[in-house]
Amino acid sequence: MTQHLADRTQPTGDPTRTVAGSQPDWWRHAVIYQVYPRSFADGNGDGMGDLPGVRRRLPYLAGLGVDAVWLSPFYASPQADAGYDVADYRAIDPMFGDLHDADALIRDAHDLGLRIIVDLVPNHSSDQHEWFQRALRQGPGSPLRDRYHFRPGKGPNGELPPNDWESIFGGPAWTRTANPDGTPGEWYLHLFAPQQPDLNWDNQAVRDEFRSLLRFWLDMGVDGFRIDVAHGLVKAAGLPDMGAAGQLKLLGTDVLPFFDQDGVHEIYRSWRKILDEYPHQRIGVAEAWTPNEGRTALYVRPDELHQAFNFHYLNTPWNAAALRRVIDTSLDSMRPVGAPTTWVLSNHDVVRHLTRLGGGLDRARAASLLMLALPGSAYIYQGEELGLPEVTDLPDEARQDPAFCRRGAGGDASSDGQEGLRDGCRVPIPWTAQGASFGFGDGGSWLPQPANWGKLSVEEQTGDPSSTLELYRAALAVRRTHPALGAGDAVEWLPAPDGVLAFRRRAADGSAMVCAVNTTDMAVDVAGVLTPAGRLLLASGRYPGGGVLPADTTVWWAE
C-alpha cells in the first residue's frame, strides 16, 4: 500500500522550502508547463512515467525557461480516469513513487528556481476512496452517504435514475448501488465515470477535509493548486432536470444545473484565506468551464483564486477576427477583477493544437508565438515545445481514456476524428533519437509512440536553430528579458490587412514590442499598413525581414 511521509519523516512546513520570494506576483506573468506524469519520463523502466523520472528531467524544464510546473494527479488511484479518480489524497500512487519522491521533486524544483503546482480533485473522489466504500457498506440513511449524492431512484421500484443528468463521458450520470443485503439500492451521482462519485459540498466534513488537504500539500512545499472541475462542486438545489442538452463535452460552455453555480465562490474565498496564510504567494488556478469570459472572471476576484484557464481562447479557431475578439473579451473581463488573463492552446484533454488548428507545424508555431506575446500568464503542455502532433492512429486496445471506453454506453459513438478522445495527446514524449521508447524510459511506453518520433526528440532538436524546441527556448528567453512582454492587461491593436493580427505592447519604462500574425495560408504584404520600425526579435518561421509576412507566421519586433 501507499506510504505516508509522516510515517517516516515529518513534513517540515518550512517556508524556506519554497522558491525565494524574489519575484512578487510571479503568477501574473508565469509560463507554467504541464507535466502529465504518466507520459513525461519513466524512472524505473516499467513503461509508465513516474515522479523520479520527472525529477531527473527538471533541469530540462529549467533550461527551457518556464517558471512553474503543474503536475497532473499522482495520488493513490485505481486509474479509472488516469488519476483523476483519487482514492487517497495524501498518498502517491505506487506506480508514480511515494511521498519521499514527491518531497525530493519539490525540493529539487525549488533549487532550480521552478515552482510546483499540484492538481487537486475536489468534485469527486474514486469509488475506492474509504469514505465511499464505508458509505456503501453502511447503507441508506447513514450520515456517511451525505458526503456524496445518494438518492432513491424514480419509478415504482426505484429502477429509474433520480434525474436526467448525463455523464461527460457518456451515459447517465447516475449508477444504482446494491444494498448491504444485496437488494437493489440507492443511486449515486457521477458527472464523470461511475468510478468517480461526486462529493456533496453541502456537507461540512467534505469542506473540512479539503481545507486540511490544502494545508497538507502546502506544508509539503507546493506553490499552488490546479483545481479540477472547479465549476462543478455546487449543484443546483433539488438537483433539477437539465432538460435536453445532447452529449456534454469536456471544456463545454453550456448552462447546466451542475456547473458554474454561484455557491462555488464561497468555497474559493475560504481557500484563498488558507493560501494567504503561507509565504511567497501560493496560488489557486481554476479549471472552470463557463459559458463566457465574464463568468470565468468571477473565479479570480481578489479574494478568490489567482488564475483561471482561458478555455474560450483554446476553443477559438485559427481566424484573425475570432482571435482578436476573444483576446479583447478575455482582457476586458479580467481587467475589472485585476487578475491576469491566462492563455492555453493544449492540455491532456484536447487534441494537440498542431493537429487541431489544421495547419501543421507552421501554424502551430505561429499560434504558440502569438500566445506567448499576449499579456498575462501562459500554459505549455508537455511536448508542444517539440511540435508533437496528436497521435490519431492508436489501436483501440491501447486506449485507456474512459471517454473512449464508454462511447457505447450512450456516449457519442459516431464521433469522428479525435474530438472527445484523449489518449492521442497523452502519448509519452520522445527524449532521444533512438532507443526502445525514445528515451522516455529504459522499457516500453504505456501508449505506443509513432515510429518516426525520434526525429522530434529533445536530443534531435537541441541546438538546431530551426527546431520548435529552440523556438520555444528563444521565445521564453526573450519573454524574460523584454519588459513589454509578460504581465499586463492590454494590447494596442495596429491596423492590419484581413487575416493579419498586429498589436503593440508597451512597458512602463517606455520600451515596446510589436507582434504581427499572418493567420492566412498565403504571404501578405503588410508594408503599407504595418511599419514596425524596430529590431527583429523572433519569428515563428522563415521571415527574411521586410514588409511581407509569410503564411502562418508570427513575428516579434522590439521598438
Give 231-268 as a DSSP string. Answer: T-SS--TT-----S--S--TT-----TTSS-TTHHHHH
Decide whether 84 or 556 has the Cβ nearer to ligand NOJ.
84
Decide whether 87 or 323 has the Cβ nearer to ligand NOJ.
87
Q: Side-chain half-sphere of 270: how many Cα atoms within 13 Å?
A: 13
How large is the angle between the packed helices 468-481 and 360-373, nearest 10 degrees? 10
Contact present, 534 and 478 (Cβ < 8 Å):
no
Task: Give the nearest residue (CB) to ligand NOJ.
Answer: 84
Q: What is the smallest separation between the CB atom of 532 and ligand NOJ, expressed in angstroms?
A: 39
Decide whether 314 or 515 has the Cβ nearer to ligand NOJ.
314
Residues touching ligand NOJ, count (CB under 6 A): 9
Which among 134, 171, 179, 551 is positioned nearest to 366, based on CA atoms?
551
For residue 32, give the H/E element and its range: strand 31-35
Among 84, 225, 503, 557, indicate the residue that binds ligand NOJ (CB under 6 A): 84
Among 67, 223, 304, 349, indicate the residue that binds ligand NOJ (CB under 6 A): 349
Q: Which residue has the cell 480516469?
A: 81
Q: What is the smallest separation between the CB atom of 169 and ligand NOJ, expressed in angstroms?
A: 8
Decide whether 191 or 458 has the Cβ nearer to ligand NOJ.
191
Q: Which residues pair with 33 in a beta bridge?
A: 69, 380
Decide whether 81 or 186 has the Cβ nearer to ligand NOJ.
81
Catalytic residue among 25, 241, 277, 464: 277
Q: At 179, is the secondary structure helix, strand, or coil?
A: coil
Distance from C-alpha of 59 to C-alpha of 113, rounded to nearest angstrom: 10
Burial category of 303 from C-beta neighbours within 10 Å (exposed 0-12, middle 13-18, buried 19 and up): exposed
Q: Which of residues 268-297 bind ligand NOJ (CB under 6 A)?
A: 287
Which among 212, 281, 214 is positioned nearest to 18, based on CA atoms?
281
Distance from C-alpha of 88 to C-alpha of 525, rounded to nearest angstrom: 58
Active site residue 228: yes
Neighbouring C-beta atoms of residue 36, cutoff 10 Å? 24
Among 19, 173, 222, 229, indicate the residue that binds ligand NOJ (CB under 6 A): 229
Decide whether 85 or 98 has the Cβ nearer to ligand NOJ.
85
Q: Which of residues 476-535 bind ligand NOJ (CB under 6 A)?
A: none
Decide whether 192 or 404 has the Cβ nearer to ligand NOJ.
192
CA 514 to chain centre: 29
Active site residue 25: no
Binding to ligand NOJ by CB under 6 A, coded x per residue (else -) over 397-436, reads: ----------------------------------------
Among 42, 93, 98, 228, indicate the residue that binds ligand NOJ (CB under 6 A): 228
Q: What is the smallest separation between the CB atom of 436 and ligand NOJ, expressed in angstroms?
A: 27
Burial category of 7 from C-beta neighbours within 10 Å (exposed 0-12, middle 13-18, buried 19 and up): exposed
Q: What is the smallest separation between the CB atom of 81 and ligand NOJ, expressed in angstroms?
A: 5
Decide whether 192 or 217 has the Cβ nearer to ligand NOJ.
192
258 binds ligand NOJ (CB under 6 A): no
Decide whether 81 or 390 has the Cβ nearer to ligand NOJ.
81
Q: What is the smallest separation between the CB atom of 400 and ligand NOJ, expressed in angstroms?
A: 12
Q: What is the smallest separation between the CB atom of 376 and ligand NOJ, expressed in angstroms?
A: 21
Q: Which of residues 350-379 bind ligand NOJ (CB under 6 A)?
A: none
Residues present in the chain in total: 559
Q: What is the smallest separation between the CB atom of 94 and ligand NOJ, expressed in angstroms?
A: 21
Q: What is the smallest separation between the CB atom of 153 and ligand NOJ, expressed in angstroms?
A: 25
Q: What is the smallest separation between the CB atom of 133 and ligand NOJ, expressed in angstroms?
A: 19
Contact present, 491 and 374 (Cβ < 8 Å):
yes
Q: Which residue has the cell 507535466?
A: 35
Which among 57, 59, 95, 58 is positioned nearest to 74, based on CA atoms?
95
Tell me which DSSP letter residue 199 carries. B
Q: Which of residues 100-129 bind ligand NOJ (CB under 6 A)?
A: 121
Catalytic residue among 85, 186, 228, 260: 228
Among 192, 210, 217, 440, indicate the residue that binds ligand NOJ (CB under 6 A): 192
Q: What is the smallest separation between the CB atom of 544 and ligand NOJ, expressed in angstroms?
A: 41
Among 42, 50, 67, 81, indicate the residue that binds ligand NOJ (CB under 6 A): 81
Neighbouring C-beta atoms of residue 212, cutoff 10 Å? 12
The 3-class SS string of 265-324 reads: HHHHHHHHHHHHHCCCCCEEEECCCCCCHHHHHHHHCCCCCCEECCHHHHCCCCCHHHHH
Distance from C-alpha of 162 to C-alpha of 140, rounded to nearest angstrom: 15
- Distance set, CA 183 to CA 186, 365, 462, 498, 535 (Å): 10, 58, 62, 66, 76
Decide whether 26 or 192 has the Cβ nearer to ligand NOJ.
192
Contact present, 369 and 403 (Cβ < 8 Å):
no
Residues 6+ apart with CB under 8 A from 509: 483
Which residues are catalytically annotated? 228, 277
Provide the binding-site residues for ligand NOJ, judged by CB under 6 A.
Answer: 81, 84, 121, 192, 228-229, 287, 348-349
